[in-house]
């Protein structure tokens, strides 16, 4: 297994730093190859702007168009090219981050905004009245798997089916489905540590043991059964889910998961 | 009305730039006071790190603790202090941004991560077994209103109740509920422009007219009826929504909206 760990926390001696280190040692001890993109340590540029496309940038700037043209011409900046190369190298991608305001920290969002360019992660395949791209289950990163390893401040109940923050699976849906499944990545159920700011040594030991177990079963864990776009579940061109495919009463994001 | 517009697009001559300019001119023409935080023009620092807390930063860095201590001591960086001051000045906040990968661009997430500090936007009020803070309907920004003005690439059907991307209200829930309602802001239904990359002049004229209408009725528009945390709808300490409050069959994020 070739694993890329994308890590987004400013403090190496944090819970997130420890979980990242644990992932590296656990996977390497099991004989796997591991590469790490430690975004803070790399000084990752978080913000998309015209400098990403050099003198060839359009004026006015068109982010999708310019990023696709630079991708195809091989003129993306070296930092972005290196991350795309790591993604193509990996068969498994682990994202380690704290949930800040119910989504990823800005530095990680900026990794997505800059690395997931047009023609690489979106705008792939035929777009016409009868087809709307190779996405949601197909695309450049098809065949790879990903795991979100996330720390959250509140207790588990706040993220339950009726919890005030909303269900954790729904909070992560825009990332797991919208960012990862979109370019073809199969997404495993997330690994979530709750009460991250109040973890005792014993709590950490329990979490670490559970995480090791998840890491050592990455290849055999069943991905979330998101529905593929181009295999009959959706009407065209609306990309509306056909009626009657879901269990009675299911609504919202859950519609896009089979079974 | 005192309106703060937080704007997040790298190109002034873009659809987002035009909508921001339209908001300024429409509101000022109607006699309102307007201030703009144009994050790209300001060179906004998107990434939380130890430099945000100066020599007083903890080692190891503790983001929540350090941001709260700096807030209370008045030692946050001038850029963050200025944004907090604008938020306290405003009675209405408009966010103008493109939906990139189903959420806000990194620069705007970084504005939230850095400006919404502990003790200002979270960690406010008593936290005990019988109370879990003043949040979700109470907090520092209670009494203010916000509007998301969002441009999206895909057509409206893709964001419908059964659309492949998920319902737009659910995609925006982590922002509208988790970021804005959390510190007390009442959130108005979003203004969304679809097919943003393919807008004709006529399409733009239609969108602009609709947006003007929304801007001129900001004070009279009914906010989204999110449930307040501390007024009986949630059990303690689980903050689980009491059974039977919702219409039959409602699940997911929609549970946290009344009626």
Residue by residue, what is the 3-state secondary structure of chain A?
Answer: CEEEEEECCCCCCCHHHHHHHHHHHHHHHCCCEEEEEEHHHHCCCCCCCHHHHHHHCCCCCCHHHHHHHHHHHCCCCHHHHHHHHHHHHCCEEEEEEECECCECCHHHHHHHHHHCCECCCECCCCECCCCECCCCCCCCCCCCEEEEEEECCCCHHHHCCCECCCCHHHHHHHHHHHHHHCCCCEECCCEEECCHHHCCHHHHHHHHHHHHHHHHCCCCCCCCCECCCCCCCECCCCCEECCCCCCCCCCHHHHHECC
Is B112 in Cβ contact with A109 (below 8 Å)?
no
Q: What is the pLDDT of residue A130?
A: 85
| Mutate which: B174, B175, B236, B244, vs A, most A CBs within 10 A | B174
Is A174's Cβ below 8 Å from some Cβ in B?
yes
What residues of chain A lie within 8 A of the CB of B160, using their CB? 238, 240
Instruction: Give the residues of chain B that fall short of pLDDT 50.
Output: none
Is A27's Cβ below 8 Å from some Cβ in B?
no
pTM (predicted TM-score): 0.98
What residues of chain B lie within 8 A of the CB of A136, using their CB? 164
Query: Average pLDDT by consecutive 10-residue portion of chain A (259 residues)?
Result: 98 98 98 98 98 92 96 97 98 98 98 98 92 96 98 96 98 98 98 94 98 98 98 96 93 94
Is A102 in Cβ contact with B179 (below 8 Å)?
yes
Is A48 in Cβ contact with B10 (below 8 Å)?
yes
Is A256's Cβ below 8 Å from some Cβ in B?
yes
Q: Does the ipTM exceed 0.85?
A: yes
Q: What is the pLDDT of residue B129?
A: 81
Q: What is the pLDDT of residue A56?
A: 83
Is A209's Cβ below 8 Å from some Cβ in B?
no
Indicate the residue of A102, A162, A237 with minimum beta-carbon distance to B240. Answer: A162
User: How far off is chain A from B20, nearest CA to CA, in Å?
Assistant: 16
Is A150's Cβ below 8 Å from some Cβ in B?
no
Fill in the DSSP letter of residue B51: G
């Amino acid at each position: 297994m070739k694993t890329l760990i994308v890590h987004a926390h400013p403090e190496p001696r944090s819970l997130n730093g420890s979980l990242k280190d644990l992932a590296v040692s656990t996977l390497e001890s099991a004989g796997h190859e591991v590469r790490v993109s430690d975004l803070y340590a790399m000084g990752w540029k978080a913000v998309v702007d015209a400098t990403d496309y050099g003198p060839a940038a359009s004026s006015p700037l068109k982010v999708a168009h310019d990023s696709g043209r630079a991708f195809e011409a091989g003129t993306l900046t070296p930092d972005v090219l290196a991350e795309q190369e790591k993604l193509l190298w990996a068969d498994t991608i682990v994202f380690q981050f704290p949930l800040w305001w119910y989504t990823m920290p800005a530095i990680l969002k900026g990794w997505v905004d800059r690395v997931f360019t047009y023609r690489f992660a979106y705008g792939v395949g035929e777009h016409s009245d009868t087809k709307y791209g190779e996405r949601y289950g197909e695309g450049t990163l098809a065949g790879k798997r990903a795991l979100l390893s996330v720390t959250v401040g509140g207790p588990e109940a706040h993220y339950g089916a009726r919890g005030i923050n909303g269900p954790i699976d729904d909070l992560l849906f825009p990332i797991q489905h919208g960012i990862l499944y979109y370019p073809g990545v199969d997404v495993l159920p997330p690994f979530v540590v709750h009460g991250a700011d109040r973890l005792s040594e014993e709590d950490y030991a329990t979490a670490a043991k559970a995480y090791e177990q998840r890491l050592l079963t990455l290849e055999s864990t069943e991905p979330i059964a998101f529905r593929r776009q181009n295999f009959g579940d959706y009407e065209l061109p609306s990309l509306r889910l056909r009626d009657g495919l879901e269990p009675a009463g299911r609504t919202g994001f859950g519609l896009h998961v089979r079974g």
